[in-house]
Amino acid sequence: MNPRVMNENGREGWTEKTYQDKNLDKGNHYDFARSSRNFELIKGCHPRFLNDPRHVPIEQRLNERLKKLGFNYYKEDSKNAPYSCVDIIVGGDHDRMNEIGSNFFSILSWAEDNYKFFCKKFGEDNIISFCVHLDETTPHAHVLAIPTAIKKQRGRVKSGEQRKVKEVVSFKAHFGDLSKANSRKAAFQKWHDDYYQAVGKKWGFERGRDLDSMSPEERAQHRHLHKNDLDIRNRLRAENKALEEQKNQLNNEVQAQQRKLDETEKKLQSVENDAKSLDAEIIKKRMQYNSLADSILEKKQDATKRVIDDMIRIRYSLQELKKTPEQQKKNRQIVQLASCLYLRFPKKAQQILNEVNGQKVVFPAQQEDDRKTRIACLQQAEKLINLPKIEQEQERGFRFGR
């Protein structure tokens, strides 16, 4: 297990440029935008994202565990150093894994089932790292584990004492003897059987047939079918990728047209707002003009009215000068009575009439026009003041029958 592989599994020190360099190799499809979704399961089956600052480098974990096991390389940097760690890649069908990986809680549950399976196989202390990668074409997990076995101590044992045992690194205990092909093959078959029963079956994966149990003809046909399936799948993926690119291109065009439409609508809205503003300004100016015209007309009417009133007062003043003092007194009484009738002061009006001839107050009918009301009051006052005595008695009803 070299540092490069460990760093790749833990995405340690990877930057956007690292992803770009990786994608230069044919067949690599790393997506930096999804790198933040990569996570690992640590002791206790607790999830933690790989970009978490608390992430402990995998090489450091490996060396600490090997030190506790008392494992030493034959020679530092030796090419023939014994196996001390295995890297197991766990995945499945592309479509099914993408279906599981589309939901974080689903892929987390899948990862937890895998973690428990490998903890049972190797022991949780020997699981150096369990990293789930979601930034590649198909979601998958990398299990870095130290294969160990319980080994009895060699040498003589004193009478009555039990032989001591210790945990040692042992590739053979889990994966068979490398020097014996059948031993290794049987170990891997058992691995696949155990994994299918514990995890694969639960998540809808198929175990697949054992090639050794097939006849040569069946084996050839199986490989041919498998190749055809791969060809069909690759063709469908290529078509799907082309359709996705076409879809993205159409989406970009739609978005561009939508942006143009939005800009046009904004300009149109701006023009409409300017038009509304101009209409409001025109209405405001028109109201100001009408108000100013009404003000000028009122001022003209007030000035004309004042001139007419002044002329009337001068005219009546000149007429009053020609009258006798008795006539002037009667005119003043008429004016005072008319004012009381106009203002509806009955007591004051009756007081004036009592001083003149004792006539009863009679108010004229209210007119729609104020000027007509004043004229009616003047006419009524003049009638009441100048009423002859016979008519007064007739009004009162004295000495007259029905």
From first to last of its 402 residues, what are the pLDDT tens digits of the chain?
677 888 888 998 899 999 999 889 888 889 999 999 999 999 999 999 999 999 999 989 988 998 898 887 656 666 655 678 899 999 988 889 999 999 999 999 999 999 999 999 999 999 999 999 999 999 999 999 999 988 877 767 666 667 677 888 888 888 888 777 688 888 888 999 999 999 999 998 888 767 666 777 777 776 666 566 666 766 787 888 889 889 999 999 999 999 999 999 999 998 889 888 888 888 888 888 888 888 888 887 777 777 666 666 666 666 666 667 787 788 878 888 888 888 888 888 888 888 888 888 888 888 888 778 888 888 888 888 887 655 555 555 654 443
Sign of CA dihedral 280, 283, 285, 287: negative
The total number of structural domains that make up the chain? 2
Q: Report d(CA 233, CA 236) in Å as an integer.
A: 5
Considering only CA atoms, give the Rg of the chain.
Answer: 57
Is residue 23 assigned to a domain? yes
Q: Report d(CA 135, CA 11) in Å as an integer.
A: 11
Instruction: Write a three-state SS string for the chain.
Output: CCHHHHHHHHCCCCCHHHHHHHCCCCCCCCCHHHHHHCEEEECCCEEEECCCCCCCCHHHHHHHHHHHHCCCCCCCCCCCCCCCCEEEEECCCHHHHHHHHCCHHHHHHHHHHHHHHHHHHHCHHHEEEEEEECCCCCCEEEEEECCEEEEECCCCCCCCCCCCEEEEECCHHHHCCCCCHHHHHHHHHHHHHHHHHHHHCCCCCCCCCCHHHCCHHHHHHHHHHHHHHHHHHHHHHHHHHHHHHHHHHHHHHHHHHHHHHHHHHHHHHHHHHHHHHHHHHHHHHHHHHHHHHHHHHHHHHHHHHHHHHHHHHHHHHHHHHHCCHHHHHHHHHHHHHHHHHHHCCHHHHHHHHHHHCCCCCCCCCCCCCHHHHHHHHHHHHHHHHCCCHHHHHHHHCCCCCC
Is residue 112 assigned to a domain? yes
Residues 195, 344, single domain; the answer is no
Domain final residue pick, 208, 242, 267: 208
Domain final residue pick, 182, 208, 234: 208
Amino acid 122: pLDDT: 93
Range(s) of the domain holding residue 121: 3-208
Q: Report d(CA 119, CA 161) in Å as an integer.
A: 32
Is residue 298 assigned to a domain? no
Amino acid 108: pLDDT: 95
CATH number at residue 142: 3.30.930.30
List the one residue out of 372, 370, 381 whose CA is nearest residue 338. Answer: 381
> Checking phi first, is residue 350 left (phi over 0); if not, alpha (psi -120 to 50) or beta?
alpha
pTM of the model: 0.54
Amino acid 221: pLDDT: 72
Is residue 359 assigned to a domain? yes
Amino acid 402: pLDDT: 39
Q: Report d(CA 9, CA 6) in Å as an integer.
A: 5
Is residue 9 assigned to a domain? yes
Q: Report d(CA 311, CA 47) in Å as an integer.
A: 107
Domain final residue pick, 208, 239, 265: 208
Is residue 253 assigned to a domain? no
Dihedral over alpha carbons 44, 46, 52, 56 (to 10 degrees): 20
Residues 14, 163, single domain; the answer is yes
Amino acid 235: pLDDT: 79
Burial of 85 (0-12, 13-18, 19+ CB in 10 A): buried
Is residue 239 assigned to a domain? no
Residues 200, 328, single domain; the answer is no
Is residue 373 assigned to a domain? yes
Amino acid 44: pLDDT: 92
CA-to-CA dists, residue 25 to 7, 18, 21, 285, angstroms:
18, 12, 8, 75
Q: Report d(CA 386, CA 166) in Å as an integer.
A: 147
